[in-house]
Amino acid sequence: MNVLNYRHLYYFWVVTKEGGFARAAERLDMAIQTISTQVRELERALGCQLLKPAGRGVAMTEAGQAAFARAEEIFQIGQAIPDEVREAASGKVARLAVGLSDGISKLAAHALLEPVLATPSLRLVCHEGEFEQLLAELALHHLDLVLAGQQAPRNPNLRLTSERLVESPVDWYGPAAYVRKADVERFPQSLNRLPVLLPTGHSALRPTLDRWFETQRLRPRIVGEFEDSALMAVFAARGLGVFPVSRLGPSDKGLMRGLRLLGHCDDVKEEIYAIRSRRGQHHPLVMQVVAACDQARSGITGVTAVRTKT
């Protein structure tokens, strides 16, 4: 098995980033011939052409595009190493990189992360994105933890574990102008006459809500759809309509200011999973988040722990 020469890969990466050998030579302060020779050595080792002439520069072949994608990941990680090493050596920074899946309630995510927010010198990095993209970032160790509404698919190559942290009922909230005594007493039928805000189809909660509407024979007037539950709460507080939210979310009173409870919806539940790589299993802040989920649920009626690991 041939060991990849990372210096050759680096020269190829710079040539590609700069768009040609001349600019790469200028950036690296090296002779063009030297860089060209190193790239040819890489092509010889891989057994295929990576670059082809394009005008005054070069362009990637399909094989080159595949090599560049991996080189980009490798050298981005490499560029981050010095800062991370200095932080680790100083012992002053506690870094936690969390991925939040598009469909998850951000209010609930905030409640689950709250136990570590008081960590001295915490550097919390939150990434929001598509579920599959976040799992790829987790597998590459760019993230320490992913919170999502579903478990990771079984894939031995990714080596990820999923734990269902909570199963939280959903409550409905809205501004005082809509949440009157009569509306509360007639809930959920009152949803037929109130403007309604809902999560988009990205959320695992949306199809559950749609089935619940059918069961209750409700035909709500949907005036807005949001990927972010916190943003949905902001628009609701400004008078746009009423909305559903995981019971974990309203435990943060600051984020629910100006909103009143319309009704409980115990038949609809939002599940939240903690997904970790094997290396991330021992991250102290990740362990604290998982271990402290009982604290995050304390005093929240109806929220249950389901510590299922896969």
Question: pLDDT of 150-179, one tens digit each?
Answer: 888 887 677 888 888 888 899 999 998 889
Please give the pLDDT value at position 101.
87
Please give the pLDDT value at position 296.
46
Maximum Cα–Cα distance across the chain? 82
Please give the pLDDT value at position 302.
53
Domain with CATH 3.40.190.290 in the chain: 93-310
Closest CA to 160 of 143, 131, 135, 183: 135
Stretches in the chain below the pLDDT threshold 50: 296-301, 305-308, 310
CATH T-level fold of 93-310: D-Maltodextrin-Binding Protein; domain 2 (3.40.190)
Please give the pLDDT value at position 270.
87
What does the block give as tokens for 123?
Answer: 């550097």
Domain with CATH 1.10.10.10 in the chain: 6-86
Contact 243, 174 (CB under 8 A): yes
Q: Does domain 6-86 have CATH number 1.10.260.40?
A: no
- Going through 92-144 in order, the beta strands assigned E by DSSP cover 94-101, 122-129
Chain mean pLDDT for the chain: 85
Please give the pLDDT value at position 306.
46
Please give the pLDDT value at position 254.
58
Closest CA to 15 of 45, 44, 51: 51
**What one-character DSSP code corresponds to residue 94?**
E
Q: What are phi and psi of 97, to 5 degrees?
A: -105, 115
Closest CA to 149 of 109, 177, 184: 109
DSSP state letters, 3-70 = PP-HHHHHHHHHHHHHTSHHHHHHHHTS-HHHHHHHHHHHHHHHTS--EEEETTEEEE-HHHHHHHHH
Contact 233, 108 (CB under 8 A): no
Please give the pLDDT value at position 246.
84
Cis peptide before 188 (omega within 30 of 0): yes
Please give the pLDDT value at position 308.
45
Please give the pLDDT value at position 307.
45
Q: Is 235 exposed, middle or buried (0-12, 13-18, 19+ CB in 10 A)?
A: middle
d(CA 93, CA 95): 6
Please give the pLDDT value at position 300.
47
Distance between start and end Cα atoms, the chain = 34
